[in-house]
Structure 1
Amino acid sequence: MRAALMWTINDFPAYAMLSGWSTKGKFACPCFNYGNNSRYLKHSRKMYYMDHRVFLPMDHPWRSNKRSSNGKTEFRPPPPFLKGTDHNLLRHNLDVMHIKKNIVDSILGTLLDISGKTKDHAKTRYDLKDMEIRKNLYPKDTEDSKRTKFANACFSMKNREKSIFCGVLKTSKLLDGSASNISRCVHLDERKVSNYKTHDAHFMLHYLLPIPIKSILPDHVAIPLIRLNSFFRCLCQKAITLEELDCVEVEIIETINQSERIFPPSFFDIMIHLPIHLANEVRLGGLVKNRWMYSTEREMGTIQIIRPQRTLSRRLHCRDTSGNRLYEFIL
C-alpha cells in the first residue's frame, strides 16, 4: 500500500514551517512570492500589501484613477504564480478560519479605535505623510508647537456611535447552538470587543457586523465592509458553482481596492491580501468546509477530554474512530 500527501491544513504561521517559505516580510505571499506589491512602512515598522489594482482587468477605469489611489496609474499585469507548481497546484491550504479571525480583529480594532489593536494610530499618519497621500489626515502641530493634532478619518466613530455599535453586539439574540455567548466579549463601558474565539469571529463577520456597520458608517465606508462579509458568506457555503466562484473572485478584488481608498496602509497586512487567493483554492481543492480547521480542532478537543495531555512529555494522540479507542505514542 502506498500513500501520498495531497495538502496540509494549518494556520498561517505553520504554513511557513511546513512549506519552508517565510510568511513574514516582503515575500510573505505564498502564491506570488517575489511578484507581490509589498512596501515597508518606516514609522509603523511593518510591511503592507497594497496596489491591488494589478488584479483588475486591464481596461478597468480604476487603473487610471490617480486621485483616489496613490497618485499614480497602474497598468501592470497581475504577477505570475510561483514557479514549479504546474503539477502540484494546491500544496498547503490557506486556513479560512484564522484568516477571518485576523480580519475581524483588524476591522473591530480600527473602527472602535481599540488601543493596541487599531491600525489608525499616530505612526500610520506619519506614514501617510511620507507617501504623500490623503493630505487631510496629515498630523498638524498646534500654534505653540507643543501638541500635534490628528484629524478624524472617514471611518472614525464618536463615542456615542461606538456605544451603539457595541450595544448591537451585546444585545443580539442568537439561536441555541449557533454561536457562543458573544455578549460576554462586549464591554460597553470601555466600548470594545475582546477575548472572542474563532467561531465568534466567524459568526460576527457573517451575520452581526453588517447591521451596525450599515446604520452607523457612511455608505462609501460601509459598502466595502458589507461586500467583504458577503464574500465570506458565499465562499463558506455548503455548495457553490464555478460561476459563483468567478463572481466572488472579481468581487473580492474590487472590495480590497475600495478599502485601499478608505483605510490606512497599516491596515493592509498579509491577512487582508490572502482572500484574493481563496476563491482559486476552492476551485482547486473543493469546499471550504472540508479544508478548514474547525473539524480538526473539535476532534482534538474531544481527544483532550478523553485523555488530558501531561506537562512533562509530548504525545501524539491517535484515535481509532471505528472502535472509539485512544492510543498514545510517546514522542
Structure 2
Amino acid sequence: MSPALGLTALGVVAVATVLVGFYGLRISRTTSDFYVASRTVRPWWNASAIGGEYLSAASFLGVAGLIMVSGSEALWYPVGYTAGFLMLLLFVAAPLRRSGAYTLPDFTAARLGSLAARRTTSVLVVLIGWLYIVPQLQGAALAVRITTGLPGWVGSVSVVAVVVCAVMIGGMRSITFVQAFQFWLKLGALAIPAVFLVLLLAGRGAPVLPDGVGVLAPSGVTDGAGHDGGYRTFSLLLALLFGTLGLPHVLVRFYTNPDGRTARRTTVIVLGLLSVFYLFPTAFGAIGRLAAPDLASEGDALAILLPERLLGGPLGTALSALLSLVICLVPEISRW
C-alpha cells in the first residue's frame, strides 16, 4: 500500500474527528454539558455513541483473526460481547440513570453509603480503562505500520493527541458527537470491503473443501481435560457477560439519557447495532479461511491485508486503506 495513501486516509479521519468535536464545543455551555451532555442525548444517538466507543480493535481485528484461526469456536466472542448488553438492559441501565450521579464512584457511594467502596471503584475504573486502552493503541500502531511504514508508536501517539483534543474542547457533548460519527463510519468502512469480497467469491465460485470440513470448522482443541470444551465455552461467556457490566466507559453513557426509560431503549438499540456490526468481522474471518488460508499466521492483521490480497490493484489498496482508517479510529482515550 502506498504510504501517501495511508497518510492521507489517517489525516482525513483526524481532521474530521476534530471538526466534529469542535461542533460539540459550540453547544457546550455548562458543567452538565461537559460531564453528561445535560442529560439530553436521545436513544438512537446515544446507542450510536456507545457502539462507537465499545467496538474496539479487539472487536474488529481480534474477532476476524480468531475466526480465521479457530473457526466456529471464536463465534462465542461476538455473542458474549453483544449479550452483555442484555444484562445491562435488565439490571443496570435504568437504575444507573435514575441515580443522578456523574460518575461510577458517585453511584457506588450513593447506593452503598461507603467511602471505601467509592475509593475502590475509582481505582477499578482507572485500572479497567488502562487495560482496555493498551490493546486499542496496539491496533492503531499496527494499522499505521502496515499502511505507511512509519514506526508503530506514531499511530499510538497520533490517536492519543486527536482524541484528547476532542475530549478537552467539548467534554461529553463533544465526545457524544464524535463517537456516534465514528460508529457509522466504522460500520460503513467495514461493510463496503466485505461486500466487495463476497461479490468476488460469488463470481469465482466457492473453493472446494475436503469432505466433512465446513467454512467455520472448529480447531478441535479441548479444554485440556479431555472434555468437549463446554466448560471452557461457559466460562468464556460468563466472563464476557460480566466484563461488559464492568466497563466504565460504557456505563457512564447512560448518565446522558433523559430518564430511565430512554436508557432502556438505548440498550435495546445497542443490541441491534452490535448484532449488525459483528456480521462483518465474522465475514472477514470466514472469507480468509476460504480464500487466503496462508494469512492465518497474520491473524491480527487479516482484515487489513485481505482486500489487497484478494482484489489487488487500486481497488484492493483503497479498501485496505479504508480499513486501516477504521482501526486508527478505534482507540478512544475518552474511555478513561
Could you tell me the TM-score, scaled by structure 1's length?
Answer: 0.26
Structure of greater Rg? 1
Of structures 1 and 2, the one with the larger relative CO (CA 8 A, separation 6+) is: 2
- Greater share of helix: 2
- Greater share of strand: 1
Could you tell me the TM-score, scaled by structure 2's length?
Answer: 0.26
